[in-house]
């Protein structure tokens, strides 16, 4: 497509040269532009536009057939509910059985766990640390992905989650959410849509809005494990229970 | 007195053909502007959310419309300028046939411009699909809403013809009064703003909104036809006082 985008520019240069230097070339006998040429240019352009219009109608899906992510009207209540339920379940002590669960893993640990983070501050996940008497030298790790709404569409399924990297007594988190979206919005000229059904009842919005949450990591660690974390975003479930 | 009495329709059609040929280059300019608009319709990607790494590209046919409106407006000015005025003396004609042929030329030129502008929309949509992936929102296609396509075409034609005539009238006014015409014109527009400021009567905005906020195509057509009739009569009335060829 890169080369295709250059076509208008090339045609502009050609026509510009013809318009600007046409008379000079004509005088020098290089070539001559008669009036017929201008009509040929105009009607050839209309012909090309007709062909492009037919191709656009035949080759590409109608506005109803375009593959779209689910609309937030349909998914947002369940997404919000699922996300809030994770926190409630963790505090309540029950294992969150969520559609947002990405991974559940078990790791060996000695006497301490150091959580390190490299990345942007806004990418830092919510980490819940729950101490358990049942866990002996093992850590249970549950990773939940966030939701992602962009312009009324639910892109949660397109989120790519990078799980934390575990070493000896260390958990390293680095840019957990990988989300790259190149969104395109196409619109007709509103001036000419003044009397069309779409123009009068337009649902098209060129504004931008997004809503997202951070990933959640739930760690069930041995009762006496020392947890070293660089941020205050690590929450201890027992403290949360006491606050409630 | 004459062996053959020329018919009005023959004179007008001959003059329209002449004007089309004389202004042929303007159609190449229109194509040039439409291609320029096509190139400008593909902006570079704008990153709108750095945290989420979301980029938004807004592709719109608006630049095609703007260029078409500017083309018709300046073509109207060009059509009524001194050189074009003197060209009429090539023919054995009346002032009325001169204006009538100019009007038919404007109708033909507006028709061509509106065809190009309206067809630019599906063309741009095709190029958008070819270039970009994630397009969750898109207007209705011609297959989905064929009537909308024709309504868009009629709307485009009426708007472009109106701008053509506005340009034509402005230049006729300047033509009649020479350099002072420009001063008069600025004074009239300025006085409208003063009326707005002192009496709080927004004449210009009311006039513009009367067209832009109209929701009935029939009433809009009547308004445009009425406006064209008034403006054109004004132009004929003004230029009827110009009888001699200017050197």
Mutate to test the interface with B, among A20, A189, A207, A211 (most CBs of B within 10 A): A189
Measured in whole angstroms, the distance separating CA A205 from the mean position of its chain's CA atoms is: 18
Mutate to test the interface with A, among B66, B138, B217 (most CBs of A within 10 A): B138
A21 in contact with B at a CB cutoff of 8 Å? no
**ipTM score of the complex?**
0.84
Number of domains in chain A: 2
pLDDT tens-digit map of A126-158: 888 888 887 788 888 989 888 888 877 888 888
> What pLDDT score was predicted for residue A201?
47
Q: Are residues A48 and A76 in the same domain?
A: no
- The H-assigned helical ranges of chain A are 2-27, 35-59, 72-92, 197-200, 237-243
- Top-confidence residue, B243 or A83: A83
> What pLDDT score was predicted for residue A203?
42
> What pLDDT score was predicted for residue B158?
95
Last residue of a domain, one of A11, A36, A59: A59
- Cβ count within 10 A of residue A120: 10
Nearest-Cα residue of chain A relative to residue B59 = A186
Report residue B123 as tokens. 């063309």
- Top-confidence residue, B219 or B130: B219
Q: Are residues A85 and A28 in the same domain?
A: no
**Mean pLDDT in chain B?**
81
Model confidence at A25: pLDDT above 70: no
- Top-confidence residue, A235 or A170: A170
pLDDT tens-digit map of B118-156: 999 888 888 887 777 667 667 778 888 888 889 999 999
Interface of A with B in 147-166 (CB under 8 A): 148, 150-151, 153
Range of the domain at A30: 2-59
- Cβ count within 10 A of residue B226: 10
pLDDT tens-digit map of B53-72: 777 777 888 889 999 999 99
Q: Are residues A92 and A154 in the same domain?
A: yes
> What pLDDT score was predicted for residue B162?
95
Nearest neighbour of B61 by CB, restricted to A19, A188, A200: A188
- Report the sign of the C-alpha dihedral through residues A119, A121, A127, A129, in that order: positive
Q: Are residues A78 and A165 in the same domain?
A: yes
What is the Rg, in whole angstroms, of the alpha carbon atoms belonging to chain B?
22
**Mean pLDDT in chain A?**
77
Q: Are residues A156 and A220 in the same domain?
A: yes
Domain residue spans in chain B? 8-42+55-177+214-239
Cα B63 to Cα B32, B39, B124, distances in angstroms = 13, 10, 11
**Residues B31/A15, Cβ–Cβ less than 8 Å:** yes
Model confidence at B238: pLDDT above 50: yes
> What pLDDT score was predicted for residue B198?
78
Label residue B7 by pLDDT band (50, 70, 90): confident
- Report the sign of the C-alpha dihedral through residues A40, A43, A49, A55, in that order: negative
Residues of A within 8 A of B48 (CB-CB) are 208
Model confidence at B165: pLDDT above 90: yes
B155 in contact with A at a CB cutoff of 8 Å? yes
Residues of B within 8 A of A1 (CB-CB) are 130-131
DSSP state of B26: H
Q: Are residues A38 and A81 in the same domain?
A: no
Is A111 inside any structural domain?
A: yes
Q: Are residues A99 and A138 in the same domain?
A: yes
B21 in contact with A at a CB cutoff of 8 Å? yes
Q: Are residues A123 and A228 in the same domain?
A: yes
B151 in contact with A at a CB cutoff of 8 Å? yes
A189 in contact with B at a CB cutoff of 8 Å? yes
Q: Are residues A150 and A29 in the same domain?
A: no
Cβ–Cβ below 8 Å for A195 and B155: yes
> What pLDDT score was predicted for residue A51?
93
Model confidence at B17: pLDDT above 80: yes
Q: Are residues A224 and A127 in the same domain?
A: yes
- Top-confidence residue, A225 or B107: B107
Q: Are residues A114 and A223 in the same domain?
A: yes
Nearest neighbour of B31 by CB, restricted to A45, A62, A205: A45
- Top-confidence residue, A103 or A3: A103
> What pLDDT score was predicted for residue B225?
94
Is A187 inside any structural domain?
A: no
Q: Are residues A84 and A107 in the same domain?
A: yes
Cβ–Cβ below 8 Å for A62 and B144: yes
């Amino acid at each position: 497509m890169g080369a295709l985008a250059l076509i208008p520019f090339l045609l502009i240069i050609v026509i510009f040269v013809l318009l600007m230097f046409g008379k000079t070339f004509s005088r020098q006998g290089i070539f001559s532009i008669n009036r017929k040429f201008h009509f040929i240019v105009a009607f050839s352009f209309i012909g090309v536009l007709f062909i492009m219009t037919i191709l656009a109608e035949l080759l590409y899906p109608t506005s109803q057939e375009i593959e779209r992510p689910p609309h937030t009207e349909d998914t947002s209540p369940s997404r919000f509910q699922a996300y809030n339920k994770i926190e409630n379940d963790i505090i309540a002590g029950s294992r969150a059985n969520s559609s947002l669960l990405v991974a559940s893993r078990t790791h060996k640990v000695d006497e301490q766990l150091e959580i390190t983070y490299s990345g942007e501050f806004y990418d830092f996940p919510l980490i819940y640390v729950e101490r358990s008497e049942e866990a002996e030298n093992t850590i249970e790790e549950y990773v939940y992905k966030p939701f992602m709404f962009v312009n009324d569409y639910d892109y949660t399924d397109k989120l790519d989650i990078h799980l934390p990297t575990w070493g000896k007594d260390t958990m390293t988190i680095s840019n957990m959410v990988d989300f790259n979206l190149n969104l395109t919005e196409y619109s007709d000229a509103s001036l000419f849509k003044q009397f069309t059904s779409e123009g009068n009842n337009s649902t098209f919005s060129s504004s931008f809005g997004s809503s997202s949450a951070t990933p959640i990591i739930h760690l069930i660690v041995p009762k006496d494990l020392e947890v070293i974390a660089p941020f205050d975003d690590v929450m201890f479930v027992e403290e949360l229970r006491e606050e409630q | 007195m004459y062996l053959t009495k020329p018919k009005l329709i023959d004179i007008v059609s001959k003059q329209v053909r002449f004007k089309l040929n004389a202004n042929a280059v303007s159609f190449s300019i229109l194509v040039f502007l439409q291609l320029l608009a096509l190139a400008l319709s593909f902006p570079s990607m704008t990153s709108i959310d750095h945290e989420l790494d979301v980029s938004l590209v807004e592709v719109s046919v608006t630049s095609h419309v703007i260029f078409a409106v500017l083309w018709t407006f300046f073509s109207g000015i060009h059509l009524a300028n001194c050189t074009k005025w003197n060209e009429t003396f090539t023919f054995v004609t009346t002032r009325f046939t001169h204006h009538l042929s100019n009007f038919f030329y404007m109708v033909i030129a507006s028709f061509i411009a509106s065809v190009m502008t309206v067809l630019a929309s599906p063309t741009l949509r095709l190029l958008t699909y070819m270039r970009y992936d994630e397009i969750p929102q898109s207007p209705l296609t011609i297959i989905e809403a064929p009537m909308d396509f024709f309504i868009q075409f009629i709307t485009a034609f009426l708007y472009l013809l109106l701008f053509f005539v506005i340009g034509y009238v402005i230049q006729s006014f300047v033509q009649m009064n020479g350099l002072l015409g420009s001063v008069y014109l600025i004074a009239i527009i300025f006085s409208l703003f003063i009326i707005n400021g002192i009496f709080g009567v927004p004449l210009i905005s009311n006039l513009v909104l009367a067209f832009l906020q109209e929701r009935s195509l029939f009433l809009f057509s009547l308004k445009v036809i009425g406006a064209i009739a008034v403006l054109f009569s004004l132009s004929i009335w003004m230029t009827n006082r110009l009888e001699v060829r200017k050197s």
